[in-house]
Chain A
Amino acid sequence: MAKLAIHADRGASEGSRFPAHPVDGLAGTSFKHQHITSILEDQAAKRGFFEVHAENYMGAGGPPHAALTRIRQDYPVSLHGVCMSIGGPQPLDKAHLGRFAGLIERYEPALVSEHLAWSTHDTTYYNDLLPLPYTEATLRRVADHIDEVQATIRRPILLENPSTYLLFKESTMSETAFIRELVRRTGCGLLLDVNNVFVSAANHGFSALEYLADYPLEHVGEIHLAGHTEQEDDEGDLLLIDSHDGPVADAVWTLFDIVIGRCGPLPTLVEWDSAIPDWPVLKAEAIAAQAILDRHAGAFLRGKSHARG
């Protein structure tokens, strides 16, 4: 458990710029600048946390840093990297990794995460989380990249499972086996995106529950929830799109409840990145997640205290 990247005690060290603000057991939301006034006025919202996409704060100064600094004073923050391209074969962008490390030092985030995906090839940045084959060769390369990130930022990351729409013919192992082996080789933690599991299960015709049964839940340090939309594949069957533009689906809430029942009240983040609603709508999603966390918290903590002695 010591390897898990829930650093609730971080930020209390000497020279810290911000309060520690533990994130354990809390539900939070994406932080969107248009909500900052509502958030700061909303005293009832004091319990929770906010997640930001790291790249949006890689400019030198200006309103983004002013807003994040203000939020970080009152709340735990989760720093979610989107473009490290850990899942690509080419070397990581050292300048980008340096900027990522700089943000961690500056904001002392409670959680730090990145994606099992790639977005840059040669010098072109594709601005999407692109999929990779699951083979022995990609496993070695991705593990090397995670090692490099963790060595640079001097803490473990939480690696997020992708939502995917297609498969690679050359893949030789399952996504869960791939992720389990990455955890074993690198000591990274996991960000379990329950919506991504649901979306991928629907798109590839497997059971989300079987995926979760095979997934190393004991290494999960954060949960993601989000909305998805529906399209059709070439055969006219349902194809789900991880769109982050609406409320969390009922089926995803049900899966989340099952996961929390097994893992306990993990920090849970509701993502909403497009067609962003007013703050009360987004907050309502976090309140719904918090209710599920709280419902499981008592029983789980009692059980854990026995198990841990």
Chain B
Amino acid sequence: MRAAREVLSATAGGLGYPERFVPALLDPGRATPALVAGPKGKAANKRFNVYRNNVTVSLIDALAAAFPATMRITGETFFRAMARFHVRETPPTSPLLFEYGRDFPAFIERYEYAQSMPWLSDVARIERAWLDAYHAADAPVLPPHALTSFPAETLGDAVFDAHPSTRLVCSAYPAVTIFSANRESGPVGRIEVRQPESALITRPALEVEVRRLPPGADAFLCSLLSAESFGSAAATASARCPEFDLANAIIVMLGAGAFTAIRHGG
């Protein structure tokens, strides 16, 4: 094994140090790499552990900062143990840490010890969408009165441009109520809601807003975000959800600043 590593290093012309340094960084079962040492003949185990600790703890911290409601629900010890597994399995691939954690909700969904909280991954999806909205490009929103000035006869064919911050998270659980109750530091009462909830996440100015969408509005918005026409999106939503209230859905979405423009389609 050692011979193989030295060949690798030699072929890299003395530039093979990362290959030999990183395998043990995220794997506590591996020995301290042979290429490092302490000064004056000292050992380097605890010294190498400083880097191990910096890497793992800082990435767990990054997840804790991005998913505060999820952590509040699980408690810090549970969360950090769960995050540690994820960090070792799926370390970041971008130096932009606010991009990290996109795979974390799916990890939570299959995490053995979180199976009793089937809604936890959807709360995490809302938090990941929150962070996307926070860093999204700034853009002026389509004002609530914009529809009234659009020619009524062509409204059915109109398409909407999503605001860069707009995100939709659909859940089979009351994820928005659970998210909202745990995102702030106030007391969390007993959550009586049982219905599925879908979240609309937007940032019309500098504050990220998270709303529970009325019934059917999630299907409606999902269609609009895939550039379907207004008429087609409304028909889809009505077919899927008999309670769908088109006027109310529009008020909620425009009030949230979900769009930047309405355009003639076709």
- The verdict on B15 contacting chain A, using a C-beta distance below 8 Å, is yes
Cβ distance A90 to chain B, nearest Cβ, rounded Å: 8
Please tell me if the beta carbons of A169 and B136 are within 8 angstroms of each other in the complex.
Answer: no
The 8 A CB mask of A80-108 against B (1 = contact, 0 = none) is 00110100111001001000000000000
Please tell me if the beta carbons of B134 and A121 are within 8 angstroms of each other in the complex.
Answer: no
Residues of B contacting A204 with CB < 8 Å?
39
For A166, give its contact among B48, B95, B133 (CB under 8 Å).
B48
131-177 of chain A: CB within 8 A of chain B: 131-133, 135-138, 141, 165-170
Residues of A contacting B82 with CB < 8 Å?
none
Report the bound CA distance from A131 to B38 in whole Å. 13
Residues of A contacting B136 with CB < 8 Å?
59-62
231-250 of chain A: CB within 8 A of chain B: 231-235, 237, 239, 241
For B54, give its contact among A65, A128, A166 (CB under 8 Å).
A128
Q: Which residue on chain B has the smallest CB distance to residue A233?
A: B46
Report the bound CA distance from A124 to B137 in whole Å. 26
Residues of B contacting A44 with CB < 8 Å?
none
Residues of A contacting B185 with CB < 8 Å?
none
Please tell me if the beta carbons of A128 and B58 are within 8 angstroms of each other in the complex.
Answer: yes
- The verdict on B262 contacting chain A, using a C-beta distance below 8 Å, is no
- The verdict on B173 contacting chain A, using a C-beta distance below 8 Å, is no
Interface residue stretch chosen among B86-94, B223-231, B232-240: B86-94
- The verdict on A186 contacting chain B, using a C-beta distance below 8 Å, is no
Please tell me if the beta carbons of A167 and B46 are within 8 angstroms of each other in the complex.
Answer: no
**Quick one: given A63-B206, A124-B92, A166-B38, are A89 and B50 in contact (CB under 8 Å)?**
no
Please tell me if the beta carbons of A169 and B96 are within 8 angstroms of each other in the complex.
Answer: no
Cβ distance A287 to chain B, nearest Cβ, rounded Å: 29
35-56 of chain B: CB within 8 A of chain A: 35-40, 42-48, 50-51, 54-55
Please tell me if the beta carbons of B18 and A118 are within 8 angstroms of each other in the complex.
Answer: yes
**Quick one: given A61-B136, A62-B136, A128-B54, are A167 and B12 in contact (CB under 8 Å)?**
no
Report the bound CA distance from A59 to B97 in whole Å. 10
Cβ distance B30 to chain A, nearest Cβ, rounded Å: 15
Report the bound CA distance from A126 to B27 in whole Å. 13
The 8 A CB mask of B8-43 against A (1 = contact, 0 = none) is 000011111111011001000000000111111011
Report the bound CA distance from A135 to B16 in whole Å. 12
Please tell me if the beta carbons of A127 and B46 are within 8 angstroms of each other in the complex.
Answer: no
Size band of the interface chain A makes with B: 35 or more
Please tell me if the beta carbons of A127 and B22 are within 8 angstroms of each other in the complex.
Answer: no
141-182 of chain B: CB within 8 A of chain A: 164-165
Cβ distance B162 to chain A, nearest Cβ, rounded Å: 14
Please tell me if the beta carbons of B17 and A89 are within 8 angstroms of each other in the complex.
Answer: yes
- The verdict on A251 contacting chain B, using a C-beta distance below 8 Å, is no
Please tell me if the beta carbons of A127 and B47 are within 8 angstroms of each other in the complex.
Answer: no
Please tell me if the beta carbons of B206 and A128 are within 8 angstroms of each other in the complex.
Answer: no
For A169, give its contact among B16, B37, B58, B134 (CB under 8 Å).
B37
Residues of A contacting B125 with CB < 8 Å?
none
Please tell me if the beta carbons of A137 and B25 are within 8 angstroms of each other in the complex.
Answer: no
- The verdict on A205 contacting chain B, using a C-beta distance below 8 Å, is yes
184-221 of chain A: CB within 8 A of chain B: 203-206
Residues of B contacting A119 with CB < 8 Å?
95
Report the bound CA distance from A36 to B17 in whole Å. 41
Q: Which residue on chain B has the smallest CB distance to residue A205?
A: B39
Please tell me if the beta carbons of B22 and A124 are within 8 angstroms of each other in the complex.
Answer: yes
For B42, give its contact among A55, A85, A132, A235 (CB under 8 Å).
A235
Residues of B contacting A125 with CB < 8 Å?
91-95
Residues of A contacting B203 with CB < 8 Å?
62
80-136 of chain B: CB within 8 A of chain A: 91-98, 133-136
Report the bound CA distance from A120 to B206 in whole Å. 32
Report the bound CA distance from A233 to B18 in whole Å. 23
Report the bound CA distance from A208 to B37 in whole Å. 20
Residues of B contacting A63 with CB < 8 Å?
134, 206
- The verdict on A130 contacting chain B, using a C-beta distance below 8 Å, is yes
Residues of B contacting A203 with CB < 8 Å?
39, 47
Cβ distance B20 to chain A, nearest Cβ, rounded Å: 10
* Given A55-B95, A165-B50, A235-B42, 16 further pairs, Cβ under 8 A: A58-B96, A62-B203, A62-B206, A89-B18, A90-B18, A125-B93, A125-B95, A126-B25, A127-B95, A128-B51, A128-B58, A131-B51, A133-B17, A138-B14, A168-B36, A231-B46
- In the assembled complex, 7 residue pairs joining A and B whose CB atoms fall closer than 8 Å, in A order, are A64-B135, A83-B95, A89-B12, A118-B18, A127-B95, A137-B15, A234-B46
10 tightest Cβ-Cβ pairs between the two chains A and B: A59-B135, A83-B95, A137-B14, A89-B15, A61-B138, A60-B137, A234-B43, A121-B18, A166-B47, A128-B54
